[in-house]
Structure 1
Amino acid sequence: MAAGNEQAQTVAAAVELNDELVREYLKHNGDFLQRNPDMLDHLHISHASGSAVSLVEKQVSVLRERNIDMRHRLTHLTTNARENDRLYTHTRALVLALLDANTLDELYTAFTRAMREEFKVEHASFILFGDPRESATCRIEPLESARIEIGALIRAHKPVCGVLRKEELGYLFPDAGGVGSAALMPLVDGDEELGLIAVGSADTGRYSSSTGTLFLTHIADVMVRLLPRLRAAG
Protein backbone atom coordinates (compact mmCIF):
# COMPACT_ATOMS: atom_id res chain seq x y z
CA MET A 1 0.00 0.00 0.00
CA ALA A 2 2.86 2.31 0.89
CA ALA A 3 4.51 1.47 -2.40
CA GLY A 4 1.32 2.44 -4.22
CA ASN A 5 1.20 5.83 -2.51
CA GLU A 6 4.83 6.49 -3.30
CA GLN A 7 4.18 5.63 -6.96
CA ALA A 8 1.21 8.02 -7.12
CA GLN A 9 3.28 10.78 -5.57
CA THR A 10 6.06 10.13 -8.06
CA VAL A 11 3.63 10.36 -11.01
CA ALA A 12 2.09 13.57 -9.63
CA ALA A 13 5.51 15.12 -9.22
CA ALA A 14 6.38 14.18 -12.78
CA VAL A 15 3.40 16.17 -14.09
CA GLU A 16 4.27 19.83 -13.78
CA LEU A 17 1.21 21.92 -13.00
CA ASN A 18 0.79 24.84 -15.42
CA ASP A 19 -1.85 27.29 -16.63
CA GLU A 20 -3.03 25.02 -19.43
CA LEU A 21 -3.65 22.10 -17.09
CA VAL A 22 -5.58 24.34 -14.70
CA ARG A 23 -7.65 25.70 -17.62
CA GLU A 24 -8.46 22.21 -18.86
CA TYR A 25 -9.42 21.08 -15.37
CA LEU A 26 -11.74 24.03 -14.81
CA LYS A 27 -13.29 23.60 -18.27
CA HIS A 28 -14.25 20.03 -17.39
CA ASN A 29 -15.18 20.84 -13.80
CA GLY A 30 -17.38 23.89 -14.11
CA ASP A 31 -18.76 23.43 -10.59
CA PHE A 32 -15.32 23.60 -8.96
CA LEU A 33 -15.88 27.04 -7.41
CA GLN A 34 -19.37 26.04 -6.38
CA ARG A 35 -17.92 23.06 -4.54
CA ASN A 36 -15.11 25.19 -3.16
CA PRO A 37 -16.65 28.64 -2.52
CA ASP A 38 -13.84 29.62 -0.17
CA MET A 39 -11.52 29.80 -3.18
CA LEU A 40 -13.35 32.91 -4.42
CA ASP A 41 -11.72 34.95 -1.69
CA HIS A 42 -8.28 33.87 -2.86
CA LEU A 43 -8.72 34.67 -6.54
CA HIS A 44 -8.05 38.25 -7.66
CA ILE A 45 -8.10 39.91 -11.05
CA SER A 46 -6.34 43.12 -12.02
CA HIS A 47 -8.77 45.98 -12.45
CA ALA A 48 -8.45 48.50 -15.28
CA SER A 49 -7.40 51.10 -12.75
CA GLY A 50 -4.53 48.90 -11.61
CA SER A 51 -6.00 47.75 -8.30
CA ALA A 52 -6.99 44.16 -7.68
CA VAL A 53 -10.57 43.01 -7.27
CA SER A 54 -11.93 39.68 -6.13
CA LEU A 55 -13.39 37.25 -8.66
CA VAL A 56 -16.86 37.86 -7.24
CA GLU A 57 -16.52 41.61 -7.76
CA LYS A 58 -15.25 41.01 -11.27
CA GLN A 59 -18.19 38.74 -12.06
CA VAL A 60 -20.63 41.34 -10.75
CA SER A 61 -18.94 44.00 -12.87
CA VAL A 62 -19.11 41.83 -16.00
CA LEU A 63 -22.76 40.98 -15.38
CA ARG A 64 -23.57 44.66 -14.86
CA GLU A 65 -21.89 45.58 -18.16
CA ARG A 66 -23.72 42.77 -19.96
CA ASN A 67 -26.99 43.93 -18.45
CA ILE A 68 -26.42 47.48 -19.70
CA ASP A 69 -25.49 46.17 -23.15
CA MET A 70 -28.62 43.99 -23.29
CA ARG A 71 -30.77 46.95 -22.28
CA HIS A 72 -29.29 49.02 -25.09
CA ARG A 73 -29.92 46.21 -27.57
CA LEU A 74 -33.48 45.77 -26.36
CA THR A 75 -34.12 49.50 -26.66
CA HIS A 76 -32.70 49.46 -30.20
CA LEU A 77 -34.85 46.48 -31.19
CA THR A 78 -37.95 48.05 -29.65
CA THR A 79 -37.33 51.31 -31.48
CA ASN A 80 -36.87 49.47 -34.79
CA ALA A 81 -40.01 47.42 -34.18
CA ARG A 82 -42.07 50.55 -33.55
CA GLU A 83 -40.64 52.25 -36.64
CA ASN A 84 -41.35 49.19 -38.80
CA ASP A 85 -44.87 49.01 -37.41
CA ARG A 86 -45.39 52.70 -38.22
CA LEU A 87 -44.08 52.24 -41.76
CA TYR A 88 -46.29 49.21 -42.28
CA THR A 89 -49.40 51.06 -41.09
CA HIS A 90 -48.74 54.10 -43.28
CA THR A 91 -47.75 51.99 -46.30
CA ARG A 92 -50.92 49.92 -46.01
CA ALA A 93 -53.05 53.08 -45.84
CA LEU A 94 -51.25 54.54 -48.87
CA VAL A 95 -51.67 51.37 -50.92
CA LEU A 96 -55.41 51.39 -50.22
CA ALA A 97 -55.58 55.07 -51.23
CA LEU A 98 -53.71 54.33 -54.46
CA LEU A 99 -56.07 51.46 -55.26
CA ASP A 100 -59.03 53.81 -54.80
CA ALA A 101 -57.64 56.28 -57.36
CA ASN A 102 -59.68 56.53 -60.55
CA THR A 103 -57.48 59.08 -62.34
CA LEU A 104 -53.82 60.04 -62.57
CA ASP A 105 -54.58 63.18 -60.60
CA GLU A 106 -56.03 61.15 -57.73
CA LEU A 107 -53.04 58.81 -57.82
CA TYR A 108 -50.66 61.77 -57.66
CA THR A 109 -52.62 63.40 -54.84
CA ALA A 110 -52.74 60.20 -52.78
CA PHE A 111 -48.98 59.71 -53.10
CA THR A 112 -47.87 63.28 -52.36
CA ARG A 113 -50.33 63.72 -49.48
CA ALA A 114 -49.15 60.51 -47.79
CA MET A 115 -45.50 61.45 -48.22
CA ARG A 116 -46.12 64.85 -46.68
CA GLU A 117 -48.59 64.05 -43.91
CA GLU A 118 -47.93 60.43 -42.93
CA PHE A 119 -44.31 59.72 -43.82
CA LYS A 120 -43.19 63.28 -42.95
CA VAL A 121 -41.03 63.48 -46.09
CA GLU A 122 -39.53 66.91 -46.83
CA HIS A 123 -39.70 66.58 -50.61
CA ALA A 124 -41.56 64.09 -52.80
CA SER A 125 -41.58 63.73 -56.56
CA PHE A 126 -43.85 61.75 -58.88
CA ILE A 127 -42.81 61.97 -62.53
CA LEU A 128 -44.34 60.16 -65.48
CA PHE A 129 -42.55 59.75 -68.82
CA GLY A 130 -44.56 60.86 -71.85
CA ASP A 131 -45.81 63.89 -73.69
CA PRO A 132 -45.60 66.98 -71.42
CA ARG A 133 -48.76 68.29 -73.09
CA GLU A 134 -50.71 65.40 -71.58
CA SER A 135 -53.28 66.80 -69.14
CA ALA A 136 -52.43 65.74 -65.62
CA THR A 137 -51.65 67.28 -62.24
CA CYS A 138 -48.53 65.17 -61.83
CA ARG A 139 -45.38 66.11 -63.67
CA ILE A 140 -44.86 64.56 -67.11
CA GLU A 141 -41.47 64.65 -68.82
CA PRO A 142 -40.10 63.19 -72.07
CA LEU A 143 -38.20 59.98 -71.42
CA GLU A 144 -35.24 61.20 -73.48
CA SER A 145 -34.80 64.31 -71.33
CA ALA A 146 -34.93 62.15 -68.19
CA ARG A 147 -32.21 59.91 -69.61
CA ILE A 148 -30.06 62.97 -70.26
CA GLU A 149 -30.58 64.48 -66.81
CA ILE A 150 -30.71 61.41 -64.56
CA GLY A 151 -29.83 58.53 -66.84
CA ALA A 152 -27.45 56.99 -64.31
CA LEU A 153 -30.23 56.85 -61.71
CA ILE A 154 -32.88 55.11 -63.80
CA ARG A 155 -30.78 52.97 -66.14
CA ALA A 156 -30.61 49.95 -63.82
CA HIS A 157 -34.35 50.00 -63.01
CA LYS A 158 -33.46 49.61 -59.33
CA PRO A 159 -33.89 51.80 -56.21
CA VAL A 160 -31.15 54.38 -55.65
CA CYS A 161 -30.31 56.05 -52.33
CA GLY A 162 -27.65 58.58 -51.39
CA VAL A 163 -26.26 62.03 -51.98
CA LEU A 164 -26.91 62.96 -55.61
CA ARG A 165 -25.36 65.51 -57.94
CA LYS A 166 -26.77 69.02 -57.84
CA GLU A 167 -28.16 68.62 -61.37
CA GLU A 168 -29.87 65.35 -60.48
CA LEU A 169 -31.43 66.81 -57.34
CA GLY A 170 -32.54 69.88 -59.30
CA TYR A 171 -34.30 67.68 -61.84
CA LEU A 172 -36.10 65.61 -59.21
CA PHE A 173 -37.04 68.48 -56.88
CA PRO A 174 -36.99 71.79 -58.82
CA ASP A 175 -38.42 73.85 -55.96
CA ALA A 176 -36.60 72.19 -53.06
CA GLY A 177 -33.43 74.25 -53.09
CA GLY A 178 -30.41 72.59 -51.51
CA VAL A 179 -31.64 69.03 -51.14
CA GLY A 180 -29.01 66.90 -49.43
CA SER A 181 -29.92 63.28 -50.19
CA ALA A 182 -32.67 61.32 -51.91
CA ALA A 183 -34.17 57.90 -52.54
CA LEU A 184 -35.52 57.13 -56.00
CA MET A 185 -37.48 54.21 -57.42
CA PRO A 186 -38.09 53.86 -61.20
CA LEU A 187 -41.55 52.79 -62.31
CA VAL A 188 -40.91 50.02 -64.83
CA ASP A 189 -43.37 47.61 -66.45
CA GLY A 190 -41.31 44.92 -68.11
CA ASP A 191 -39.00 46.89 -70.41
CA GLU A 192 -41.23 49.95 -70.49
CA GLU A 193 -40.11 52.90 -68.37
CA LEU A 194 -43.24 54.58 -67.05
CA GLY A 195 -41.76 57.14 -64.68
CA LEU A 196 -40.36 57.38 -61.16
CA ILE A 197 -41.13 58.28 -57.56
CA ALA A 198 -38.57 59.93 -55.29
CA VAL A 199 -38.24 61.39 -51.79
CA GLY A 200 -35.62 63.89 -50.66
CA SER A 201 -34.21 65.56 -47.56
CA ALA A 202 -31.95 68.51 -46.77
CA ASP A 203 -30.04 66.12 -44.50
CA THR A 204 -27.22 64.53 -46.50
CA GLY A 205 -27.31 61.49 -44.23
CA ARG A 206 -31.07 60.91 -44.35
CA TYR A 207 -30.92 58.63 -47.38
CA SER A 208 -27.80 56.52 -47.84
CA SER A 209 -26.78 53.25 -49.45
CA SER A 210 -27.78 51.46 -46.23
CA THR A 211 -31.27 52.96 -46.16
CA GLY A 212 -34.04 50.41 -46.57
CA THR A 213 -36.15 50.92 -49.69
CA LEU A 214 -38.68 48.15 -49.17
CA PHE A 215 -41.64 50.46 -48.60
CA LEU A 216 -40.75 52.63 -51.62
CA THR A 217 -40.37 49.54 -53.81
CA HIS A 218 -43.71 48.21 -52.61
CA ILE A 219 -45.46 51.48 -53.44
CA ALA A 220 -43.81 51.54 -56.87
CA ASP A 221 -45.01 47.98 -57.59
CA VAL A 222 -48.59 49.03 -56.88
CA MET A 223 -48.29 52.15 -59.05
CA VAL A 224 -46.86 50.18 -61.97
CA ARG A 225 -49.97 47.98 -61.98
CA LEU A 226 -52.32 50.94 -61.81
CA LEU A 227 -50.71 53.33 -64.29
CA PRO A 228 -51.58 51.59 -67.59
CA ARG A 229 -55.28 51.46 -66.68
CA LEU A 230 -55.40 55.03 -65.37
CA ARG A 231 -53.51 56.48 -68.34
CA ALA A 232 -55.78 54.64 -70.77
CA ALA A 233 -58.86 55.87 -68.92
CA GLY A 234 -57.54 59.42 -68.88
Structure 2
Amino acid sequence: MSENNIKGSDVINYLNNHPDFFLRYPDLLEGLKVSNERGELTSLVQHQVQILQKKHNETNQKLHALISNARANEQLMDKLFLLLCELAVLPNDAFIGRYLSFIKSHFPTDFFVLCLNQQVFPENAPRQIIPYDDIQSHFSDFQQDEAPIAGRLRAEKLEAVFPDDHRAVKSAVVLPLGQGAAFGVMVFGSLDEEKFHPDTSTDILQKLVSILSNYLTSQHTQNEHQAVG
Protein backbone atom coordinates (compact mmCIF):
# COMPACT_ATOMS: atom_id res chain seq x y z
CA MET A 1 0.00 0.00 0.00
CA SER A 2 1.54 3.32 -1.06
CA GLU A 3 1.63 6.35 1.27
CA ASN A 4 -0.93 8.13 -0.90
CA ASN A 5 -3.40 5.30 -0.41
CA ILE A 6 -3.10 5.21 3.38
CA LYS A 7 -6.04 6.84 5.15
CA GLY A 8 -6.18 8.16 8.64
CA SER A 9 -8.77 5.51 9.46
CA ASP A 10 -6.29 2.83 8.35
CA VAL A 11 -3.74 4.07 10.88
CA ILE A 12 -6.39 4.27 13.61
CA ASN A 13 -7.64 0.76 12.88
CA TYR A 14 -4.12 -0.63 12.85
CA LEU A 15 -3.21 0.97 16.18
CA ASN A 16 -6.48 -0.16 17.74
CA ASN A 17 -5.72 -3.71 16.61
CA HIS A 18 -2.11 -3.50 17.77
CA PRO A 19 -2.19 -1.64 21.14
CA ASP A 20 1.36 -2.78 21.89
CA PHE A 21 2.77 -1.14 18.75
CA PHE A 22 4.52 1.73 20.55
CA LEU A 23 5.76 -0.64 23.26
CA ARG A 24 7.60 -2.50 20.52
CA TYR A 25 8.83 0.72 18.91
CA PRO A 26 9.33 3.24 21.77
CA ASP A 27 11.84 5.32 19.79
CA LEU A 28 9.14 6.04 17.22
CA LEU A 29 6.81 7.36 19.93
CA GLU A 30 9.44 9.75 21.21
CA GLY A 31 10.21 10.96 17.71
CA LEU A 32 6.64 11.81 16.67
CA LYS A 33 5.90 15.52 16.44
CA VAL A 34 2.53 17.32 16.80
CA SER A 35 1.48 20.97 16.78
CA ASN A 36 0.59 22.60 20.08
CA GLU A 37 -2.06 25.33 20.57
CA ARG A 38 0.38 27.97 19.29
CA GLY A 39 1.15 25.96 16.13
CA GLU A 40 4.61 25.00 17.42
CA LEU A 41 5.93 21.48 16.89
CA THR A 42 6.46 19.44 20.00
CA SER A 43 7.01 15.78 20.78
CA LEU A 44 3.96 13.58 21.22
CA VAL A 45 5.12 12.71 24.73
CA GLN A 46 5.42 16.38 25.66
CA HIS A 47 2.05 17.04 24.06
CA GLN A 48 0.46 14.32 26.20
CA VAL A 49 2.08 15.76 29.30
CA GLN A 50 0.62 19.19 28.46
CA ILE A 51 -2.84 17.69 27.90
CA LEU A 52 -2.71 15.86 31.24
CA GLN A 53 -1.51 19.03 32.96
CA LYS A 54 -4.39 21.00 31.41
CA LYS A 55 -6.92 18.39 32.53
CA HIS A 56 -5.37 18.39 36.00
CA ASN A 57 -5.70 22.18 36.22
CA GLU A 58 -9.31 22.07 35.00
CA THR A 59 -10.13 19.38 37.57
CA ASN A 60 -8.54 21.47 40.31
CA GLN A 61 -10.54 24.53 39.25
CA LYS A 62 -13.78 22.54 39.32
CA LEU A 63 -12.89 21.11 42.72
CA HIS A 64 -12.12 24.56 44.13
CA ALA A 65 -15.40 25.86 42.68
CA LEU A 66 -17.33 23.00 44.31
CA ILE A 67 -15.64 23.63 47.65
CA SER A 68 -16.33 27.35 47.37
CA ASN A 69 -20.00 26.75 46.51
CA ALA A 70 -20.34 24.27 49.37
CA ARG A 71 -18.93 26.81 51.83
CA ALA A 72 -21.20 29.54 50.47
CA ASN A 73 -24.25 27.25 50.78
CA GLU A 74 -23.26 26.31 54.31
CA GLN A 75 -23.02 29.97 55.26
CA LEU A 76 -26.44 30.63 53.70
CA MET A 77 -27.94 27.73 55.63
CA ASP A 78 -26.56 29.20 58.85
CA LYS A 79 -28.09 32.57 57.94
CA LEU A 80 -31.42 30.91 57.10
CA PHE A 81 -31.41 29.34 60.55
CA LEU A 82 -30.74 32.72 62.17
CA LEU A 83 -33.53 34.23 60.08
CA LEU A 84 -35.94 31.55 61.30
CA CYS A 85 -34.99 32.27 64.90
CA GLU A 86 -35.52 35.99 64.34
CA LEU A 87 -38.83 35.58 62.51
CA ALA A 88 -40.16 33.28 65.23
CA VAL A 89 -40.30 36.16 67.71
CA LEU A 90 -41.38 38.94 65.34
CA PRO A 91 -44.96 40.20 65.28
CA ASN A 92 -46.92 39.14 62.19
CA ASP A 93 -46.96 42.60 60.66
CA ALA A 94 -43.14 42.70 60.67
CA PHE A 95 -42.60 39.27 59.12
CA ILE A 96 -42.81 40.18 55.42
CA GLY A 97 -40.64 43.27 55.74
CA ARG A 98 -37.84 41.39 57.51
CA TYR A 99 -38.12 38.50 55.07
CA LEU A 100 -37.75 40.79 52.04
CA SER A 101 -34.84 42.58 53.69
CA PHE A 102 -33.08 39.23 54.11
CA ILE A 103 -33.58 38.41 50.42
CA LYS A 104 -32.20 41.78 49.36
CA SER A 105 -29.09 41.28 51.52
CA HIS A 106 -28.31 37.64 50.78
CA PHE A 107 -29.92 36.84 47.42
CA PRO A 108 -29.24 39.98 45.36
CA THR A 109 -30.40 39.80 41.73
CA ASP A 110 -31.17 42.32 39.01
CA PHE A 111 -34.93 41.75 39.34
CA PHE A 112 -37.10 40.34 42.10
CA VAL A 113 -40.83 40.14 42.71
CA LEU A 114 -43.12 38.36 45.14
CA CYS A 115 -46.55 37.61 43.67
CA LEU A 116 -49.20 36.91 46.33
CA ASN A 117 -52.88 36.13 45.93
CA GLN A 118 -55.59 38.17 47.59
CA GLN A 119 -56.04 35.73 50.48
CA VAL A 120 -52.61 36.54 51.92
CA PHE A 121 -51.84 39.91 50.31
CA PRO A 122 -50.44 42.18 53.06
CA GLU A 123 -51.72 45.66 53.79
CA ASN A 124 -49.40 48.47 52.69
CA ALA A 125 -47.47 45.99 50.56
CA PRO A 126 -44.04 47.19 49.39
CA ARG A 127 -43.39 47.57 45.67
CA GLN A 128 -41.68 44.15 45.47
CA ILE A 129 -45.06 42.50 46.07
CA ILE A 130 -47.69 42.39 43.32
CA PRO A 131 -51.13 40.67 43.06
CA TYR A 132 -50.97 37.11 41.81
CA ASP A 133 -54.64 36.56 40.98
CA ASP A 134 -54.49 38.46 37.67
CA ILE A 135 -51.42 36.61 36.38
CA GLN A 136 -52.07 33.15 37.85
CA SER A 137 -53.05 31.67 34.47
CA HIS A 138 -49.48 32.14 33.25
CA PHE A 139 -48.24 29.67 35.86
CA SER A 140 -50.67 26.80 35.46
CA ASP A 141 -47.55 24.60 35.13
CA PHE A 142 -47.49 24.35 38.92
CA GLN A 143 -50.83 22.56 38.97
CA GLN A 144 -49.09 19.46 37.58
CA ASP A 145 -45.47 19.98 38.58
CA GLU A 146 -44.32 21.90 41.64
CA ALA A 147 -40.66 22.00 40.64
CA PRO A 148 -39.25 25.51 40.14
CA ILE A 149 -39.08 26.85 36.58
CA ALA A 150 -35.67 28.19 35.59
CA GLY A 151 -34.03 29.48 32.43
CA ARG A 152 -35.18 31.73 29.62
CA LEU A 153 -38.87 32.13 30.34
CA ARG A 154 -41.56 32.73 27.76
CA ALA A 155 -42.19 36.40 27.02
CA GLU A 156 -45.74 36.37 28.40
CA LYS A 157 -44.54 35.02 31.76
CA LEU A 158 -41.87 37.68 32.05
CA GLU A 159 -44.26 40.44 31.04
CA ALA A 160 -46.76 39.27 33.66
CA VAL A 161 -44.31 39.53 36.58
CA PHE A 162 -41.99 42.27 35.28
CA PRO A 163 -44.29 44.48 33.18
CA ASP A 164 -41.82 47.38 33.05
CA ASP A 165 -38.57 45.40 32.71
CA HIS A 166 -39.52 42.16 30.96
CA ARG A 167 -37.44 42.90 27.85
CA ALA A 168 -34.30 43.26 29.97
CA VAL A 169 -34.73 39.96 31.84
CA LYS A 170 -32.59 37.34 30.08
CA SER A 171 -33.03 34.48 32.57
CA ALA A 172 -35.17 33.85 35.63
CA VAL A 173 -36.27 31.33 38.22
CA VAL A 174 -39.88 31.00 39.41
CA LEU A 175 -40.64 29.23 42.70
CA PRO A 176 -44.19 28.27 43.76
CA LEU A 177 -45.51 29.31 47.17
CA GLY A 178 -47.52 26.50 48.68
CA GLN A 179 -48.84 23.40 46.99
CA GLY A 180 -49.69 24.15 43.37
CA ALA A 181 -48.57 27.77 43.95
CA ALA A 182 -51.65 28.19 46.14
CA PHE A 183 -50.38 31.49 47.54
CA GLY A 184 -48.43 32.76 44.54
CA VAL A 185 -44.89 32.66 43.21
CA MET A 186 -41.50 34.16 43.94
CA VAL A 187 -39.44 35.26 40.93
CA PHE A 188 -35.76 36.15 40.56
CA GLY A 189 -34.58 37.63 37.26
CA SER A 190 -31.19 38.47 35.80
CA LEU A 191 -29.64 40.49 32.98
CA ASP A 192 -27.32 37.53 32.44
CA GLU A 193 -28.88 34.80 30.30
CA GLU A 194 -26.60 32.21 31.97
CA LYS A 195 -27.44 33.19 35.55
CA PHE A 196 -30.47 30.90 35.74
CA HIS A 197 -30.81 27.78 33.59
CA PRO A 198 -32.81 24.52 33.76
CA ASP A 199 -30.01 22.83 35.73
CA THR A 200 -29.68 25.65 38.27
CA SER A 201 -29.52 24.33 41.84
CA THR A 202 -32.50 25.77 43.71
CA ASP A 203 -32.18 23.84 46.99
CA ILE A 204 -31.40 26.93 49.08
CA LEU A 205 -34.05 29.00 47.33
CA GLN A 206 -36.65 26.31 47.94
CA LYS A 207 -35.81 26.32 51.65
CA LEU A 208 -36.18 30.09 51.61
CA VAL A 209 -39.57 29.74 49.93
CA SER A 210 -40.65 27.08 52.44
CA ILE A 211 -40.21 29.58 55.27
CA LEU A 212 -42.59 32.01 53.60
CA SER A 213 -45.03 29.27 52.51
CA ASN A 214 -45.36 28.02 56.10
CA TYR A 215 -45.98 31.54 57.33
CA LEU A 216 -48.61 32.18 54.66
CA THR A 217 -50.31 28.87 55.45
CA SER A 218 -50.48 29.87 59.10
CA GLN A 219 -51.85 33.31 58.23
CA HIS A 220 -54.45 31.87 55.87
CA THR A 221 -55.64 29.35 58.48
CA GLN A 222 -55.80 32.08 61.09
CA ASN A 223 -57.84 34.35 58.79
CA GLU A 224 -60.27 31.52 58.06
CA HIS A 225 -60.82 30.86 61.76
CA GLN A 226 -61.44 34.54 62.39
CA ALA A 227 -63.95 34.64 59.53
CA VAL A 228 -65.81 31.62 60.92
CA GLY A 229 -65.73 33.03 64.45
TM-score range, shorter chain: 0.5 to 0.7
TM-score, scaled to structure 1: 0.67
The one-letter code sitting in structure 2 at the alignment partner of 1:121 is T
Aligned length: 201
> Distance between the aligned counterparts of 2:216 and 2:120, measured in 1?
16
TM-score, scaled to structure 2: 0.68
> Distance between the aligned counterparts of 1:206 and 1:134, measured in 2?
30
> Distance between the aligned counterparts of 1:23 and 1:67, measured in 2?
24
Q: How does 1:1-234 map to 2 (within 5 A)?
A: 23=19, 40-41=26-27, 43-49=29-35, 57-101=43-87, 102-103=90-91, 105-131=93-119, 135=123, 137=125, 139=129, 141=131, 143=133, 145-148=134-137, 150-155=138-143, 156-176=145-165, 178-189=168-179, 193-231=182-220
> Distance between the aligned counterparts of 1:117 and 1:134, measured in 2?
21
Q: For the aligned residues, what is the CA RMSD? A: 3.6
> Equivalent residue of 2:189, what SS?
strand
> Equivalent residue of 1:126, what SS?
strand
Largest Rg, 1 or 2: 1
Q: 1:108 to 1:45 in 2, by over 3 A?
A: farther
The alpha-carbon deviation at position 208 of structure 1 amounts to: 1.4
Contact 1:182 1:201 in 2 (8 A): yes
> Equivalent residue of 2:172, what SS?
strand
Q: 1:120 to 1:100 in 2, by over 3 A?
A: same
> Equivalent residue of 2:182, what SS?
strand
Cα distance per residue 1:24-53 (max 9 Å; x no partner): 699xxxxx89xxxxx75465453224x997
The one-letter code sitting in structure 1 at the alignment partner of 2:110 is E
Cα distance per residue 1:64-116 (max 9 Å; x no partner): 32022111221122023212321331243134314532355544333432332
Which 5+ residue runs of structure 2 have no aligned equivalent? 1-13, 224-229
Q: 1:92 to 1:208 in 2, by over 3 A?
A: same
